[in-house]
């Protein structure tokens, strides 16, 4: 067994691919906030492919963590010279493993904020990328307006504050670049938010305006915020995954990444200071990302929500279990075809019927072992952005909303915190206490959950939706998820 690190690369066996490029020649051009499993399975992987081609050696990634939970990632990557093992799990049980070398450094901001600002202000840093989750953008889920109430943001708004938040670091770095005459970097969001670049633009500028209106004006004029659509199912790494990497590949890796074979990235080509030639390794570099991101958010992401609550209530615990059950797959295909797909724009180069069936195949991959609990977490950051827009579009067009209403009702039932067998459910959500309290009142007050206007706006005032939602909720309470689906039809 070999402990992963730069010196170990030459000793690893033929079962695992390793970088053939000279990592000592790779310099930092990208600073990334939010290095987790997805970033390492996706953006860092694409850059590694470019480096393997002898390209992009001035675009290495320096990761940055700002949250207490990021210390573990700092320890893992710093202890392995930025290296980690990416394991692709194929449906037939076979594995492909590669050591990824595109992360050239990692900084834990609470330990040394000034070092983070140093790399952010370096002229060689031309892109700052983000996977900070939907909640990391600090906007109100219903209104979409900037919400500065987070205590960390409030601390960063104080005069001469040492940055603690992602927004604090970005705006302070841009202020320093402006003062020194260094061109602004591009901010590249890679989070699952419709118009993620546009959202990053609005929220970061709004934060800057509270701190320094002139800086905000400069950001408006100088900083590019390209939109992107990213897609690769990347479950949480388990101890079993670590052990399997050790047993099958002889690597002791503190934090390997496991993922599915499929990967996709559509990226708006708006990088004034340049970018890696991502198109050389399969990225769709386009003028308008909107059709691709709507496809992904309203088909893949919304379908994840469509399966997770109902599946969990029915007794399943893994995504592949749900998607090997024809009752559930018929429901998912029905949602995609009749409710999600009609709200989309034409997607160049994509056969949507094929894409929808491909999604079911991806979800059904038993090797990925993606948990329903992961998909059920932080629903207040997901449903309002992924499914509520579909509902609103269908209500306006007079289209079907039956399946979407059932999904919302299933979330409400799940949020009660007790499954159909009476076992406790651990509800993980930033609004947990408020949502659980509302959910536990809904047998007497059927609209109590739906009346959380910060998430649903005026849906509780829409008679057609309310009628379908209350019917679904009553059925979930009376006969359970499976019998409800059987009666609901596909």
Q: Are residues 151 and 129 in the same domain?
A: yes
Q: Are residues 265 and 360 in the same domain?
A: no
Reported as a single tens digit per residue, the pLDDT across 433-481 is: 999 999 999 999 999 999 999 999 999 999 999 999 999 999 999 999 9
Q: What is the pLDDT of residue 489?
A: 65
Q: Which of 225, 259, 286 is the last residue of a domain?
A: 286
Q: Are residues 111 and 135 in the same domain?
A: yes
Q: Which of 244, 260, 286 is the last residue of a domain?
A: 286
Q: Are residues 185 and 318 in the same domain?
A: no
For the chain, percent of residues with pLDDT exceeding 70: 99
Q: Are residues 322 and 282 in the same domain?
A: no
- For 229, phi then psi, to 5°, come to -125, 125
Q: Are residues 193 and 84 in the same domain?
A: yes
Reported as a single tens digit per residue, the pLDDT across 372-401 is: 999 999 999 899 989 999 999 999 999 999
Of 99-103, 193-197, 304-308, 482-486, which gets the smallest average pLDDT?
A: 193-197
CA distance linking residue 275 with residue 62, whole number of Å: 15
Number of Cβ within a 10 Å radius of residue 161: 15
Instruction: Give me the chain's average pLDDT, please.
Output: 96
Q: What is the CATH number of the domain that holds 259?
A: 3.40.50.720
- Average pLDDT, integer, range 362-374: 94
Q: Are residues 116 and 250 in the same domain?
A: yes
The answer to whether residue 490 scores a pLDDT higher than 80 is no
Q: Count the domains in the chain.
A: 2
Strand pairing report for 103-108 and 60-65: parallel
Q: Which of 286, 312, 343 is the last residue of a domain?
A: 286
pLDDT band at 142 (very low <50, low <70, confident <90, very high): low
Q: Are residues 195 and 60 in the same domain?
A: yes
Q: Are residues 156 and 184 in the same domain?
A: yes
Question: What residue numbers bound the domain in which 484 lies?
Answer: 290-488
Q: What is the pLDDT of residue 327?
A: 97
Find out whether 161 and 101 touch, Cβ atoms under 8 Å. Answer: no
Q: Are residues 193 and 300 in the same domain?
A: no
Cβ contacts of residue 262 below 8 Å, gap of 6+? Answer: 231, 232, 233, 358, 362
Strand pairing report for 84-89 and 257-259: parallel
Q: What is the pLDDT of residue 13?
A: 81
Q: What is the CATH number of the domain that holds 316?
A: 1.10.1040.10
Q: Are residues 98 and 199 in the same domain?
A: yes
Reported as a single tens digit per residue, the pLDDT across 317-333 is: 999 999 999 999 999 99
Reported as a single tens digit per residue, the pLDDT across 49-75 is: 999 999 999 999 999 999 999 999 999
Find out whether 31 and 129 touch, Cβ atoms under 8 Å. Answer: yes
Q: Are residues 409 and 478 in the same domain?
A: yes
Structure tokens at 18: 């390793």
């Amino acid at each position: 067994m070999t402990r992963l690190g730069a010196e170990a690369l030459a000793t690893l066996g033929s079962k695992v691919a390793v970088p053939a490029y000279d990592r000592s020649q790779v310099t930092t051009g990208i600073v990334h906030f939010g290095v987790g499993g997805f970033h390492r399975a996706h953006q860092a992987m694409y850059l590694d492919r470019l480096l393997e081609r002898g390209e992009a050696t001035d675009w290495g990634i320096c990761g940055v963590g700002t949250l207490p939970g990021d210390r573990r990632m700092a320890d893992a990557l710093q202890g392995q010279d930025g290296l980690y093992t990416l394991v692709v799990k194929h449906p037939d049980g076979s594995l492909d493993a590669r050591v990824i070398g595109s992360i050239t450094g990692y900084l834990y901001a609470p330990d040394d904020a000034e070092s983070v600002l140093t790399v952010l202000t370096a002229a060689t840093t031309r892109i700052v990328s983000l996977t900070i989750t939907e909640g990391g953008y600090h906007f109100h889920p219903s209104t979409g307006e900037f919400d500065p109430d987070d205590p960390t943001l409030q601390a960063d708004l104080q005069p001469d504050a040492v940055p603690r938040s992602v927004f604090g670091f970005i705006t302070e770095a841009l202020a320093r670049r402006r003062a020194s005459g260094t061109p602004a970097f591009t901010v590249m969001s890679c989070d699952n938010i419709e118009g993620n670049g546009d959202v990053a633009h609005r929220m970061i500028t709004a934060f800057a305006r509270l701190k320094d209106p002139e800086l905000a004006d400069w950001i408006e004029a100088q900083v590019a915020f390209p939109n992107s659509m990213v897609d690769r199912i990347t479950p949480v790494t388990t101890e079993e995954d670590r052990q399997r990497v050790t047993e099958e590949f002889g690597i002791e890796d503190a934090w390997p990444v496991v993922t599915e074979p499929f990967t996709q990235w559509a990226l708006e080509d708006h990088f004034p200071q340049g970018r890696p030639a991502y198109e050389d390794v399969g990225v769709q570099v386009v003028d308008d990302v909107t059709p691709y991101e709507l496809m992904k958010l309203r088909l893949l992401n919304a379908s994840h929500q469509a399966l997770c609550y109902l599946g969990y209530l029915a007794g399943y615990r893994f995504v592949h279990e749900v998607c090997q059950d024809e009752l559930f797959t018929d429901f998912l295909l029905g949602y995609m075809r009749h409710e999600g797909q009609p709200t989309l724009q034409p997607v160049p180069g994509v056969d949507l019927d094929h894409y929808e069936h491909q999604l079911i195949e991806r979800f059904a991959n038993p090797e990925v072992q993606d948990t329903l609990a992961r998909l059920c977490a932080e629903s207040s950051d997901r449903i309002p952005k992924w499914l509520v827009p579909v509902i609103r579009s269908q209500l306006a067009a007079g289209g079907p909303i039956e399946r979407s209403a059932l999904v919302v009702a299933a979330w409400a039932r799940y949020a009660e915190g007790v499954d159909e067998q009476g076992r406790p459910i651990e509800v993980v959500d930033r609004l947990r206490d408020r949502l659980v309290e509302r959910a536990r009142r809904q047998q007497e007050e059927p609209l109590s959950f739906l009346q959380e206007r910060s998430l649903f706006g005026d849906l509780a005032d829409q008679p057609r939706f309310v009628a379908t939602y209350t019917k679904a909720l009553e059925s979930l309470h009376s006969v359970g998820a499976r019998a409800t689906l059987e009666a609901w039809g596909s």
